[in-house]
């Protein structure tokens, strides 16, 4: 039986051109830290990949750090910045070195602002810092459409705010956040309150894992201080990610050893992975515009058709500010509480509560030949609890009754027509 | 010009059979955490690799954790165990739950015993813990042949000793440590002092990165509680390593997120890398005996010839307890201080101090077509300081005057004859 893969938010296959470049790079297999010619060639290959990425993202090559993936990158950014800043929070003598207006920053814990719908690779390190009483955190909820209001971040910023962490696009519902506006809020705060430039935080950390394929993630354009993405989400290498840290940001290592990656990330450099990341990014940028237009058409067609033909369904998250490849549908006719549901009158007679369990839908569709997802693939420990992202939208009943359908480069209209037919059979 | 690569301790090329298995695994590119069939197949592929490794190393599959390499594995083992144990050191109520004889363990910091010649991926995380005042550490120096005396570890073990960290074989001088005897010392200590099994540390962490190719690293045989190795050192995948943690060991994560690898190591699993590690290990075991015999012959031939034909040379480290592929020679006729030098009378007339700078030798040999190494490739930040490993042997004058020549599967006798001729030309 032929299969239809519609779970591209979980992972993408390696682009054949990326695989080819990586295979070529395997010829230069020496250790880039070695002094001899073989080492030099490996080092050169690594640095060329770094420069290529820097040009695409409008940052300096020295601001790019290769890691083992998005999760490590986000952990390094969060734990590394807090570690670096905690030192200054703890040193009382630093207070005397600062202008009067900045003194109150000390005596507090470092403060983080983030949203309730971030990926576990952001929420879990933060939880860990909270458990260790090393930070205080403001969690911002999105509106019912899954969008973070920059004003709600503005309200939370204070003297000891070191990090603002917002994902560019959500991994479950695909909503795109107003990163530039959030960057402006931070910039304004700095201009108004930081008398001297002694304290240059809050830093804006943007998780761009899901957005790189469809959005321009230039650091200049976004106004981000740190940016993260992952090879597996962009038809690139596995076990490979990027953390970009602008030079002004104070950050320390979380893994220690040979001092590779300018001392920030120890461990022998993975040269083929770096080459693969550069190529995958290059291809992504090349295809971005055309592929976005194509997928938006397919996405909107599918969403409209499902909402029309399956009465108990509703879209999770905003349709307008949304990744071109993301469809997330709730199959529940339950009352949507205070938010109200546009579909609440569609509940068929004699079946007032039609809640379809996410896992049931995924497994049922799987037997019919479709690979889709219940929430995110990254909740291996907490799947049974439903989606905290969808619950954050105020749609509690949808947390365990939703399907994520994510499109990719191989997705055709006929695949989606088949899926809609299959869905109608199951949710009849 | 044809090149001779003699730096296999820094890195090894991927075995073509490993590359082939990894390419095959790329077909199962889905996310192993996904519920659908594609995810299931990826998960199955991952778990089969884990079982294969478990069988070879005589441990349980659930005790094997895939990481991004040796450095991450060692950091996770050290920082993760200390983090996990610190909680019990800090909780005063725990004291009352313990038999009387164990109470004194509390009120102290966790204690680590390690050697002065460990890899930076061990020494640097320990330095970081020291800086943060989270541990106390006993550093054991090796004897002048580079061997750690188990008795010197015995002397240092005390109630609060949580970790004993000893590398199986040194990455610079190739000396093989008496791990089984060290394991016995720890076992005896536990039997004599741990009345109940409430406290089951000290744990023995063995860095086997350099030894896997030539030694039997079965956990049972070694008596280790934790073991680390790396793909790049065993003709395997780049950016891929293993940490084995026996079930009894208390350990916590240092990177947080989706909870993969039983919650210990978050981040989407790198399935092809796991497959590649299993295959590389399988091949290593297959070739181990024959390749060791072959390389020991080549090694001993080369060492004898260099020591004989280059008067100012001496071997760093023991010849008997040594990796089959490691040659490390000091080119200095300076007096060897209190240790005395077997070659001190060889200094040629009119040239009483013949110290050849390591980097000069590496670069000179490089121009003649040979890739060798000054110390380790993993000192990117501190190369100019010479080798702390060789200085630990009491051969201070050799720290910056030594060459590491490491053999591999492609090394032939003729390569070594060419190298010896080249060396004689340089060190004339």
Contact A259 B381 (CB under 8 A): yes
Burial of B83 (0-12, 13-18, 19+ CB in 10 A): buried
Radius of gyration of chain B (CA): 23
Return the SS3 of A139: strand
Same domain, A59 and A151: yes
User: In this structure, what DSSP letter does residue A64 have?
Assistant: E
Q: Of B251, B283, B315, which residue constitutes the final position of a domain?
A: B283
Contact A362 B35 (CB under 8 A): yes
Alpha carbons B187 and B202: distance in angstroms, whole number: 9
Tokens 């996904």, residue located: B34
Least confident of A4-13, A88-97, A298-307, A315-324: A88-97
The per-residue pLDDT for B220 is 92
A344 Cβ partners below 8 Å, 6+ apart?
A333, A335, A336
Instruction: Give yes or no for a contact between A278 and A79, defined as CB atoms under 8 angstroms apart.
Output: no
A24 at interface of B, judged by CB pairs closer than 8 A: no
Domain range for residue B416?
A: 4-11+288-426
User: Residue A91's pLDDT band (boundaries 50, 70, 90)?
Assistant: low
Same domain, B230 and B179: yes
The per-residue pLDDT for B384 is 55
- Secondary structure of A161-188 in the HEC alphabet? EEEEEEECECCCCCEECCHHHHHHHHHH
Instruction: Give yes or no for a contact between B325 and B349, defined as CB atoms under 8 angstroms apart.
Output: no
Same domain, B149 and B226: yes
User: In this structure, what DSSP letter does residue B270 have?
Assistant: -
Mean pLDDT value across chain A = 89
State the total domains in chain A.
2
Instruction: Give yes or no for a contact between A169 and A80, defined as CB atoms under 8 angstroms apart.
Output: no
In this structure, what token pair is assigned to residue B76? 């996770």
- The CATH number of residue B171's host domain is 3.40.640.10
Q: Which residue of A has its CA nearest to B32?
A: A377
Among residues A391, A400, A319, the alpha carbon closest in space to that of A358 is found at A400
Same domain, A264 and A302: no
Same domain, A145 and A33: yes
The per-residue pLDDT for B350 is 44
CA distances from B309 to B313, B318, B326, B357, B428 (A): 9, 20, 19, 19, 10
pLDDT digits (tens, 9 = 90+) for A347-390: 444 444 567 888 889 999 999 999 999 876 555 444 456 899 99
Contact A373 B258 (CB under 8 A): no
Same domain, B174 and B258: yes
The per-residue pLDDT for A257 is 95
The per-residue pLDDT for A350 is 45
Tokens 């911002």, residue located: A140
Cα angle A45, B361, B236; round to 5: 40
Contact A38 B5 (CB under 8 A): yes
Q: B56-79 as b/e, with b when 16 or more CB fall inside 10 Å?
A: bbebeeebbbbbbbbbbbbbbbbb
pLDDT digits (tens, 9 = 90+) for B43-96: 999 999 999 999 999 999 999 999 999 999 999 999 999 999 887 776 554 444
**Residue from B114, B134, B257, B374 whose CB has the most chain A CBs within 10 Å, to mutate:** B257
Residues of A in contact with B72 (CB under 8 A): 68, 255, 267
Instruction: Give yes or no for a contact between B202 and B161, defined as CB atoms under 8 angstroms apart.
Output: yes
Same domain, A191 and A328: no
Q: Half-sphere exposure of residue A131, counting CA atoms within 13 Å on the CB side?
A: 9
Which residue among A35, A239, A255 sits closest to B362, beta carbon to beta carbon? A35
Instruction: Give yes or no for a contact between B275 and B25, defined as CB atoms under 8 angstroms apart.
Output: yes
- Complex ipTM: 0.91
A119 has a pLDDT exceeding 60: yes
Q: Which residue of A has its CA nearest to B4?
A: A38
A71 at interface of B, judged by CB pairs closer than 8 A: yes
Among residues A120, A178, A118, the alpha carbon closest in space to that of A153 is found at A178
Same domain, A187 and A91: yes
Contact A371 B3 (CB under 8 A): no
Q: Which residue of A has its CA nearest to B266?
A: A71
User: Residue A120's pLDDT band (boundaries 50, 70, 90)?
Assistant: very high
A193 Cβ partners below 8 Å, 6+ apart?
A101, A159
Contact A30 B3 (CB under 8 A): no
Which residue among B68, B267, B381 sits closest to A267, beta carbon to beta carbon? B68
A267 has a pLDDT exceeding 90: yes
Instruction: Give yes or no for a contact between A89 and A109, defined as CB atoms under 8 angstroms apart.
Output: yes
A3 Cβ partners below 8 Å, 6+ apart?
A369, A370, A371, B37, B38
The per-residue pLDDT for B33 is 92
Sheet holding A402-406, edge to edge: A313-315, A326-331, A402-406
How, if at all, do strands A161-167 and A203-207 pair? parallel
The per-residue pLDDT for A382 is 47
Instruction: Give yes or no for a contact between B77 and B63, defined as CB atoms under 8 angstroms apart.
Output: no
The DSSP code sequence of B136-187 is: EEEEEPP-TTS---HHHHHHH--TTEEEEEEESB-TTT-BBP-HHHHHHHHH
CA distances from B275 to A158, B19, B50, B51, B270 (A): 49, 10, 8, 11, 9
Instruction: Give yes or no for a contact between A319 and A300, defined as CB atoms under 8 angstroms apart.
Output: yes
- The CATH number of residue B301's host domain is 3.90.1150.10
CA distances from B369 to A38, A366, B3, B302, B364 (A): 10, 57, 5, 18, 9
Among residues A83, A89, A113, the alpha carbon closest in space to that of A199 is found at A89
Rounded to a whole number of angstroms, the distance from the CA of B150 to the nearest CA of chain A is: 25
Taking residues A303-330, report their average pLDDT: 95
Same domain, B71 and B190: yes
In this structure, what token pair is assigned to residue A137? 């955190």
Residues of A in contact with B167 (CB under 8 A): none
Residues of B in contact with A14 (CB under 8 A): 26, 29
Same domain, A35 and A164: yes
Burial of B48 (0-12, 13-18, 19+ CB in 10 A): middle
As a whole number of angstroms, the longest Cα–Cα distance in chain A is: 78
Q: Which residues between 105 and 134 in chain B have a beta carbon less than 8 angstroms from any beta carbon of chain A?
A: 119-121, 124-125, 127-128
In this structure, what token pair is assigned to residue B410? 């492609």
Low-confidence ranges of chain B (pLDDT < 50): 93-96, 100-105, 335-352, 380-383
Q: Of B259, B283, B307, which residue constitutes the final position of a domain?
A: B283
CA distances from B278 to B17, B56, B64, B219, B410 (A): 11, 9, 11, 16, 22
Same domain, A118 and A210: yes
pLDDT digits (tens, 9 = 90+) for B146-178: 999 999 999 999 989 999 999 999 999 999 999
Taking residues A321-344, report their average pLDDT: 72
Alpha carbons A370 and B29: distance in angstroms, whole number: 16
Q: Of A238, A258, A283, which residue constitutes the final position of a domain?
A: A283
Same domain, B114 and B231: yes
Which residue among B34, B72, B266 sits closest to A267, beta carbon to beta carbon? B72
Q: Give the Cβ contact number of residue B381 at 10 Å.
A: 16
Sign of CA dihedral B71, B74, B79, B80: positive
The per-residue pLDDT for B334 is 63
Among residues B272, B25, B163, the alpha carbon closest in space to that of A273 is found at B272
In this structure, what token pair is assigned to residue B325? 């592929």
Percent of chain A at pLDDT > 90 equals: 79
Residues of A in contact with B209 (CB under 8 A): none
The per-residue pLDDT for A88 is 72
Alpha carbons B237 and B275: distance in angstroms, whole number: 9
3-state helix, strand, coil in chain A (%, to 5): 45, 15, 40
In this structure, what token pair is assigned to residue B318? 């023991």
**Residue from B26, B377, B410 whose CB has the most chain A CBs within 10 Å, to mutate:** B377
B273 at interface of A, judged by CB pairs closer than 8 A: yes
**Residue A404: φ, ψ to 5°:** -105, 120
Contact A36 B70 (CB under 8 A): no
């Amino acid at each position: 039986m032929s299969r239809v893969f519609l779970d591209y938010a979980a992972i993408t296959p390696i682009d054949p051109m990326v695989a080819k470049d990586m295979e070529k790079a395997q010829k230069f297999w020496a250790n880039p830290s070695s002094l001899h010619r073989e080492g030099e060639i490996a080092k050169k290959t690594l640095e060329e990949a770094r420069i290529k990425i820097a040009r695409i993202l409008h940052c300096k090559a020295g601001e790019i750090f290769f890691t083992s993936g998005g999760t490590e990158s986000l952990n390094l950014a969060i734990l590394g910045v807090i570690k670096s800043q905690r030192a200054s929070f703890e040193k009382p003598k630093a207070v005397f070195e600062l202008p009067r207006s900045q003194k109150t920053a000390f005596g507090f814990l470092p403060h983080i602002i983030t949203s309730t719908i971030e990926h576990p690779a952001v929420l879990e390190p933060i939880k860990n810092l909270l458990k260790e009483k090393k930070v205080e955190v403001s969690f911002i909820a999105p509106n019912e459409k899954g969008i973070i209001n920059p004003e709600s971040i503005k309200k939370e910023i204070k003297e000891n705010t070191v990090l603002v962490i917002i994902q560019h696009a959500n991994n479950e519902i695909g909503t795109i956040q107003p990163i530039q506006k959030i960057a402006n809020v931070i910039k304004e705060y700095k201009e108004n309150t930081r008398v001297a430039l002694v304290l240059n935080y809050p830093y804006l950390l943007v998780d761009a894992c899901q957005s790189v394929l469809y959005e321009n993630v230039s650091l200049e354009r976004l106004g981000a201080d740190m940016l993260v993405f992952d090879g597996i989400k962009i038809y690139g290498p596995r076990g490979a990610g990027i953390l970009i840290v602008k030079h002004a940001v104070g950050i320390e290592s979380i893994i220690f050893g040979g001092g590779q990656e300018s001392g920030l990330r120890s461990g022998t450099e993975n040269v083929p992975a770096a080459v693969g990341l550069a190529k995958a990014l290059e291809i992504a940028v090349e295809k971005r515009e055309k592929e976005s237009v194509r997928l938006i058409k397919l996405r909107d067609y599918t969403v409209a058709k499902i909402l029309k033909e399956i009465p108990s369904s509703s879209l999770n998250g905003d349709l307008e500010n949304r990744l071109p490849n993301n469809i997330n549908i709730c199959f529940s006719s339950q009352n949507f509480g205070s938010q109200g549901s546009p579909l609440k009158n569609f509940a068929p007679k004699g079946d007032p509560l039609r809640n379809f369990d996410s896992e049931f839908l995924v497994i049922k569709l799987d037997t019919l030949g479709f690979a889709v997802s219940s929430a995110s693939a990254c909740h291996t420990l907490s799947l049974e609890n439903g989606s905290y992202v969808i619950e954050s939208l105020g749609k509690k009943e949808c947390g365990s009754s939703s399907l994520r359908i994510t499109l990719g480069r191989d997705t055709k209209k006929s695949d989606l027509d088949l899926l809609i037919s299959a869905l109608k059979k199951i949710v009849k």
